[in-house]
Amino acid sequence: MNYDVIIVGGGAAGLMCQHQLSDKHLKVLVIDKNSILGKKLLLTGNGRCNVTNRYSPQEFIERIGGEQKKFFYKAIHSFSTEDVVNFFKTRGVPLKLENDFQYFPVSNKAKDIVDVLTKTNEETIIHYEEVVQDIKPHQTQFQVVTNKKRYLTKHVVIASGSSSFPKTGSTGDGLIFAKELKIETVPFYPAETKVYAKMIEKLSLQGLQIPNASVSLLQTKHRQKGDLLFTHNGLSGPVIYHLSEEIYHSLAHNHKAVLSINLINITKDKFIHLLYESPAKTIESIVAKLTSKRLASNLFSSFQLPKKPIQDLKHETFNQIYEFLTNFHVDIDKVEDKTLAYVNGGGVKTKELHPSTMESKKYPGLYFIGETVDLHGPIGGYNITIAFSTAYLAANHIKENYDA
């Protein structure tokens, strides 16, 4: 059976691609493993779907980091965060800005986002619960083999996602197809997730949160600031998510990753001034006011910090405790598995693709978009925007070919 375009994957990228193609009379087939489209989208943001954020193209690029900045320039300028907001607004799903940063649907329903993206024309066909097994060139076209049929098509768009949350259908198939075609890839790895630390497990601090904590990865330049959450076996929260990719690389390359955490966020002069103001009290009681009684009690007991009245301690001790609290070292044992990470790094290497079209340099007519590409950002609407922007480029290039 012949098609003009076959899209592999009905997630954010695949759905935006088919939507952009729907204004042309093209015979499009979307193949998805699931019984419903947009399964992962429906789960994001606890079912609310953080669609995008407020950053300009330049600000957006600066925040995705790495070598990806230059590659993504054309995509984010072609379909920006502002374009995402207008796209849904003009289709009856207005978005609202929260925390002066993230955009969610006003309805707080991810389903409304998916409903917009799944509107198709009569030429578009959706095949549910079908698994693509092989993609290869066939004369002037591509042959796509599934567990049910064989298809021929002029264009293939691979939007099969990463390895994050495989229950949603993301099992890393895009990299398998790429490798079989001798297209270079980076194996998927966890990029935004929690970390495990045995020493934290022993402290019994589960559920404790430190707002706006400063955290650094020792022996690197990587540092972040944000809310920190202690779990029963490690650390979580936005500040850890943003550092987890670098922690993963440090463990992989150096077999070691140590975090330095500022637990009190106060200058040394102010800290010592607070101590001298209450000479009859213990340092533990002062730290309890700066953080929490539970954290102070656990730290002073577990690390055998002095519990004498402040007036009975030397000034040198004040300095030592301040250094301990503002440079609290945590040895990280491992990062959460890529299948449970909110975001995966890795994918098809960007050097294999044309940045203005997402088309393979080796195989004209073959495109990789969204999470299948080694292109990602932190949590906060970045990755859905990347999916939309790259899908927009691919779809428009396909349409231009037919217009030519």
pLDDT tens per residue across span 88-99: 999 999 999 999
| 357 and 328 fall within a common domain | no
| 267 and 360 fall within a common domain | no
CA distance 198 to 63: 31
| 184 and 227 fall within a common domain | no
CATH number of the domain where residue 42 is located: 3.50.50.60
| 74 and 175 fall within a common domain | yes
pLDDT of residue 84: 98
Q: Do strands 150-158 and 366-368 pair parallel, antiparallel, or not at all (unpaired)?
A: parallel
* Strand partners for 359: 367
pTM, two decimals, is 0.93
Return the residue matching tokens 């402290």. Answer: 203
Picking from 227, 230, 241, 237, the residue whose alpha carbon sits closest to that of residue 203 is 230
Phi and psi torsions of 79, nearest 5°: -145, 90
| 109 and 243 fall within a common domain | no
Residues of the chain with pLDDT > 70, as a percent, come to: 99
Residue-wise pLDDT for 368-404, tens only, equals 999 999 999 999 999 999 999 999 999 999 999 886 5
On whether the CB atoms of residues 244 and 259 are closer than 8 A, the answer is no
CA distance 29 to 18: 9
Q: Residue 179: which residues within 8 A CB-CB, separation 6 or more?
A: 185
| 325 and 258 fall within a common domain | yes
pLDDT of residue 403: 64
Question: Which residue type occupies 49?
Answer: C
Question: Which residue type occupies 126?
Answer: I
What domain count does the chain have?
2
- 237-240's contacts with Cβ under 8 Å and 24+ in sequence apart are 237/209, 238/379, 239/213, 239/215, 240/194, 240/195, 240/215
CA distance 100 to 253: 37
Q: Do strands 52-53 and 234-236 pair parallel, antiparallel, or not at all (unpaired)?
A: unpaired
| 204 and 99 fall within a common domain | no
pLDDT of residue 53: 98
CA distance 363 to 360: 5
pLDDT of residue 65: 66
| 241 and 184 fall within a common domain | no
| CB neighbour burial string for 152-188, b if at least 16 within 10 angstroms, e if fewer | ebbbbbbbbbbbbbeebbbbbbbbbbbeebebebeeb
On whether the CB atoms of residues 107 and 45 are closer than 8 A, the answer is no
Q: Provide the domain limits for residue 382.
A: 2-190+343-403
Distance, CA of 224 to chain centre: 16
pLDDT of residue 25: 87
Low-confidence ranges of the chain (pLDDT < 50): none
CA distance 144 to 133: 8
| 183 and 221 fall within a common domain | no
On whether the CB atoms of residues 286 and 275 are closer than 8 A, the answer is yes
Return the residue matching tokens 């002095």. Answer: 306
| 370 and 348 fall within a common domain | yes
Picking from 233, 222, 207, 230, the residue whose alpha carbon sits closest to that of residue 259 is 222
| 34 and 174 fall within a common domain | yes
Picking from 366, 14, 377, the residue whose alpha carbon sits closest to that of residue 168 is 14
Q: State the burial class of residue 402 (Cβ atoms within 10 Å of its Cβ: 0-12, 13-18, 19+).
A: middle
| 395 and 315 fall within a common domain | no
| Chosen domain end from 281, 309, 335 | 335
| Chosen domain end from 335, 357, 383 | 335
- DSSP 8-class letter at 219: T
CA distance 62 to 48: 26
Residues of the chain with pLDDT > 90, as a percent, come to: 94
| Chosen domain end from 312, 335, 358 | 335
pLDDT of residue 104: 98
User: Tokens representing 225?
Assistant: 């600031």
Picking from 211, 198, 237, 240, the residue whose alpha carbon sits closest to that of residue 223 is 240
CA distance 60 to 62: 5
